[in-house]
A and B are shown apart, each in its own frame.
Chain A
Amino acid sequence: MRIFRIAGAAIAVFAWLYGFNRFQVFYYQEQFQLFRADALYLRTFLSQPGGLAGYAGAFLTQFFVILPVGALIYTIVLEVLRRSFYKVLAGFITGGALFFISLVPVALLLIPIVQIQSNIASVIGLLCTLPAFLLYRRANARWRYAAGAGLMLAVFFAAAAHVWVLAALIAIHEWFGRRGPSRYPGVALPTALSLLIPWAAQQWVYTAPIDTSFYACLAWWSVPAIYLLCCLQGPRIAEYFRRRPQVGIALSILCLAATLAHVVSKYDRTTETILHIDYEIRHGRYDRALDIKARTSSDSRHVLYLANIALLETGRMPDEMFRFRQAGPAGLFLDRNGSYFSYIYLGEIYYRLGLMGAARHCAYESMVAWSQKPNAQTLAQLARIALVEGDFAVCDKYLRSFEGALFYRSWAGEQRRFLDERRRNPAFIPPHIPAPVAGLENFFINYNAPEAMMKKILEADSLHRKAFEYLMAFYLLSKDVESAKGLMDRYYAGLGYSALPASFEEAMLVYENAVGQPHTYIISANARQRFSQYLRAAQSGANRNWMQQHYGDTYWFYLHYVQPVPLQTSSESNRY
C-alpha cells in the first residue's frame, strides 16, 4: 500500500512538473546556467554562504538538458526530502497520516519550484538540514551542544539560511525533550548561533550580503511548524489518527488539494508558451513553434514576436502572417528595457537577419543583465556570432567554457572544427548560423529605428529576402502601404518570387484602391474577387466579428480593424 502511495505521489509530481512546467522549469533553468567541472567554477559558488547547495543544484540542473530527466531528478529529490521529513516525524506519528503529513513540505515546495527563477538548490538546502537534525538527535547527550554548533556551522556554509530551520528544529527538540531549567540552554544556544554564524561569516568570511543566498520560501517553515505541532500534541495526534485514520487522510488530502489549487492558480501559462516556442525555434523546429502559436490564446507580444521569427524562417511570412493575430510593429521588434529577456529576444531577429553587431550587442547585454553566472544560452550565441564575425580569439574563449561542460562538449567540439575551418577559409559559414550581411556600411545601432537598420541591410544586399520580407511586414503592420509599395518597387523584382505573396497582393490592392495609382504587380483574380467582396461587406456595415471570421486572415482586416501597438522608444542617458 505504502509503495503505491509513494509511487502515486511521485507520478503526480512528475506529471505536474513535466506536463505543465517543462519549459519554465527545466529548459529555462538549464539554459540559464553553464555547469563546469573545474575548481574556478566551484570557487564562484563557495564565495557565498550556501555555496555547496548552489553547486550541487547547478550540478543537477545540467541534466535538465534532457527535459524528462529534469522532471525525474526533481521528483527524486522531493521524494528524498519527504523521506527525510518522514524520519524526523516517525517518533511522533505513525501510520498513513505520517505519509501524508510528510508530504506537506513537498506540496508547499511545488509552489516556488515552478516559478521561473526558482532553483533546485533551495530544495537541496532543505535536504541538507533534515539529515543534520537527525544526526543531532542521535548525538550523545553530553556532546549534543558541540554537535549542534558544528552541524549548524556546516549547514550554514552548505545551505546558508537553512541554518534557521535547523536552529528551530533543535530548539523545539530541546524544549520538549528536556525538563526543568536544563532546557533553556538548548533553546538559547541554537537561537544565538543562528544569528551569530551569519553575522560573523559576513564580517570575516564572505562579502556577499546576507540575503543573497537565502533561498527564502514558505515551505521551509512548514518543517519546524509541523515538528512543533507533533512535539506538542504528538501522542494525541497519533492516537486520534490511529482511531480515525480517515480523518488524518482527509485532512492531508484537503491540505494537498489546497496546495494543488494554489499551484494551478499560479501556473504561468504564457511564460510556459513563450519558452516552449523559444525552445522549438532554437532547435530549428519552426513549424512546431507555429503550431504552438496557433493553439495558444495568449496575446503575449513575445509569443507573437517569436512566431513571426518562425514565419520568417519558414519563408511563410508574406503569405501567412495575417493568419496569426498581428498586433503591429511591436510584434516584429521588441523594446529595450534593460532586462535579460528584452535583450536576448530583441537580438534574435537581428541575429537571424545577419546584423551581427546588433545580435552580439544584445547577446552580450543579456549575459551581463543576467545577474547569475554566464549562461549557456548567451554564451553559445556569443560564440556563434564571434565565429562568423571572425573574432576567433573570443570564440575560442567562449568555447573553452563549453568544453568543461558535460552536455556541451560535443557541441563545442563541433564549433571548434568550424572555427578551424573558418580560420582556413574566410568564406566558410558554418551550417545553421546566419551569414553576416556582406558589404554593410557601418552605422550606430539604433533599436528605436529598426526600419533604418533594415534599410541599411537591403542597401548592402538587395537580394536579402528575409530582410525584405521583414521590412515589408514592418510597413504593412505600420499601415504604411506607400512605403511598402516603394520597397517592392525597389527590391521585389530581383528576389525571384514565383507569384506575389498573399499579404503583398492584398497590400497592392489597398494601394490601388486608396491611392488610385496603377502598379505593375500581377494580382490574381481570386484576390481581386475576395477584395471586392471584402469591400462590399465592409460598406454594408458587417460587424467586426463577422469580418474577422471571414477576413481575419487578410491584411485588409488588419488595416481596418486592428489598432497597431507601436514600438516604445528608449531614451539615452549619461553613461556616468
Chain B
Amino acid sequence: MRTSILSLLLLLVILAGCSPSGRHTLSHRSAEIYPGYAGTVIPYNIAPLNFAIREGATKYRVRFIAGADSFSISCRQTVDIPLLKWRKLLAAHRGERLIVRISARRPGGWETFSDLLFTISPEAIDPYLAYRLIEPGYTTWGKMGLYQRNLENFDEQPIVTNDLVDDACINCHSFRQNDPSTMLFHVRKVNPGTVFLRDGQLSRVNTQTANMISAGVYPRWHPGGRYVAFSTNTTRQNFHSVHTNKVEVYDMASDIVVYDTQTNRIFSAPQLNSPNHFETFPEWSPDGAYLYYCTAPARPMPAQYDSLRYDLARLRFDADAARFASAADTLVRASLTGQSVALARVSPDNRFVVFCLSHFGTFPIWHRENDLYILRLSDGTVRPMTEINSPESDSYHSFSSNGRWLVFSSRRADGAYTRPYISYLDPNGTPSPPFLLPQKNPEFYDLSFKSFNIPELITGPVDVSPTRFARAVRNPSLRQAQ
C-alpha cells in the first residue's frame, strides 16, 4: 500500500513536470506563426504543417487536438510535428476541426494563446506535386530541375535536373490529366527538343516545322493522350527601369498548333494561327471536346506592349477526325474592361475555368496585379477568387484530379519568389484560404533562392529515373514532327 502511494506521488510529480507550471495566463490573441497556416482547409493526407512560432519565448508547448484525440509536443521556435501522429490524427478526423493550442513559456509562467483552427477535409489531395525549381526567370539560368514532392511527407525527388543534360534549360513540364505516366517537357539550347513519356517509352521530338514560328512552347495534353496542343511563340523579355513589375515578357507573335503523337503530325486551324491575332496558352476541356485558348489582336511589339490584351475563347474539337470547328466562342472578353486573360485551366468536372487576369500582356507571373478569376461555365459568370488572391502575382494554377484542390504559384511572401499555395475548392467553386506547401523546416522558404515554377498535381510519382530521362535527352536520335 505504502509503495502504491509513493508510486502515485512520484507519478504526480512527473506529470506535474510535464505540464506547464507556474502562473498560467490566457491570451486573447493567436500566436504568430510562420507560415501562417491558421484558418485553412487541409487535406487529410497532407504532410505535417511544420511551422515556426514567432512570439519571442524560449520554449513552447503545442497541442494538436481533433475530436477526442490529441497529441502535444514541446519545442523551441520550430514546431516539427511527428509524421505518424499527425497522419493518424488527421485520418481519424476527416471532415472535423483541427485545433492547435500553443503555450509559450514566459518568465513567471505559461501563456496560452487563442486556438488556431483548421478544417480537415475528407477529400484527399493528389499525393505528388511536380514543379520546376529555378531562380525567378531572367535571361540567364544556373542550376534548375524538375522535381516531384510527396505531399504526404517531405520527400522530394528530382525528375530530371539540368546538370545531367549539359546545363540545358528544362521547362514547361506537362502531364495528361494529373497522370504521371504521360508527360512531356522541353529542353532548350543544348540538345533541344521535347521529351515525351508515354506508356513507359521516352522519345525526343523536334516539334518545329517549316511553317511554325517556333517549336512548341506552352503545352497541354488532350485528355485522350494522343494529342498535345502547343502554343508557338516568338517571345522577348525586357526589364523595366522603374516599374512595380520588374520584368516584361511579351510575344512578338504566337499561334497554337496540335501535335499528334501517333502520326507525328502537326496541324492547326485558321482561328489558331491567324496572322492578325496572337493565340496562346491552350487548354483542353476534360472531355476533350473543346480547346480553350487566349487570343488578342496583333499589335506592333514592343511599342504597344502595354495595350496588348487577351480574351478567352474556345474552339470545338473532333478528336476522331482531328479537326477543329470553324467558329470559336469568346467566353471572357477581358480586353473590353482593360484586362488580359492568361493560363485558363478547366476543372476536372468541366464546370469551372480558373484563369489569370492582369492589366495587359501574356506573362502574368511578373505582373503584381495579376489575380486568379473563376468562370462558371454553366452561366458564364466570372468572379475574382478573392479568398486566395493577394497583392502580389497569383498565377500558375492546376487542379487536383478530383477537382477539390487547386495549387497555384504566388509571390505574396516577398514579391520575388513564387511559392506553391494550395486551396480547397468546394463544389460551388468557392475556394478556401490557401496554405503554403509545408516543408520540414519552416525557414526553408526564407533561405531558398529558387522559385517553384509550374506546380502540377499528379496522382503518383513519375516512375522514370533522372538518368533515364538524361539519356533520352542526350540521345542523338531526334524525331522530326511533320
A-side residues, CB < 8 A to B, are 36, 38-41, 202-203, 207-209, 212, 338, 343, 355-358, 360-361, 364-365, 367-371, 374, 391, 393-394, 396-397, 400-401, 404, 436-437, 440-445, 453, 456, 572, 574-576
Contacts and interface: CB of A to CB of B under 8 A. Distances in A.
Interface in B148-204: 158, 161, 163-164, 167, 171, 186, 188
B135 A367 contact: yes
Nearest to A453: B241
Contacts of A440: 241-242
Interface stretch (B328-336, B380-388, B441-449): B441-449
12 contacts: A40-B441, A41-B447, A212-B163, A338-B139, A343-B140, A361-B138, A397-B414, A442-B242, A444-B238, A444-B302, A574-B235, A574-B236
A372 to B, nearest CB: 8
A365 B237 CA distance: 13
B267 interface: no
A443 B243 CA distance: 9
Given A401-B447, A574-B233, 6 more contacts: A208-B163, A338-B139, A361-B138, A400-B446, A444-B248, A445-B239
Interface string B195-223: 00000000000000000001101000000
Interface in B268-308: 302
A115 B220 CA distance: 48
B209 to A, nearest CB: 16
A36 B446 CA distance: 13
A207 B167 CA distance: 13
Contact of B240 (A208, A357, A397, A456): A357
B415 A393 contact: yes
Interface residues of B, number: 50
A39 B415 CA distance: 25
A355 B241 CA distance: 7
Given A209-B163, A212-B163, A358 B239 contact: yes
Interface centre among A209, A437, A441, A572 (most CB of B within 10 A): A209
Given A36-B447, A207-B164, A374-B449, A357 B239 contact: yes
Nearest to A39: B441
A441 B240 CA distance: 10
Contacts of B145: 207
Interface in B251-276: none
B142 interface: yes
Nearest to B172: A576
Given A393-B415, A400-B447, A368 B141 contact: yes
Contacts, number: 125
A368 B142 contact: yes
A135 to B, nearest CB: 33
B233 A576 contact: yes
Interface string B40-54: 000000000000000
Interface string B431-456: 00000000001011011110000000
B129 interface: no
Nearest to B238: A444
A456 B237 CA distance: 21
B189 to A, nearest CB: 10
B443 A394 contact: no
B422 interface: no
B132 to A, nearest CB: 14
Contacts of B136: 364
A208 B162 CA distance: 9
B416 interface: yes
Contacts of A391: 414-416
A576 B186 contact: yes
Interface centre among A368, A391, A437, A576 (most CB of B within 10 A): A576
Given A202-B467, A209-B163, A393-B413, A368 B238 contact: no
B368 to A, nearest CB: 11
Contacts of B246: 357, 360-361
Contacts of B236: 572, 574-575
A572 B237 CA distance: 9
B319 to A, nearest CB: 27
A443 B214 contact: no
Contact of B171 (A338, A367, A404, A576): A576
Contacts of A437: 242
B143 interface: yes
Interface centre among B217, B239, B241, B465 (most CB of A within 10 A): B241
Contact of B142 (A370, A393, A401, A456): A370
B135 A397 contact: no
Contacts of A40: 441, 443-444, 447-448
B420 interface: no
Contacts of B444: 40
A361 B467 CA distance: 34
Nearest to B218: A576
B120 to A, nearest CB: 29
Given A203-B467, A394-B414, A394-B416, A369 B142 contact: yes
Interface centre among A358, A440, A444 (most CB of B within 10 A): A444
B139 A456 contact: no
Contacts of A370: 142
Contacts of B143: 371
B121 to A, nearest CB: 30
Contacts of B140: 338, 343, 365, 368-369
B35 interface: no
Contact of A361 (B141, B239, B448): B239
Nearest to B164: A209
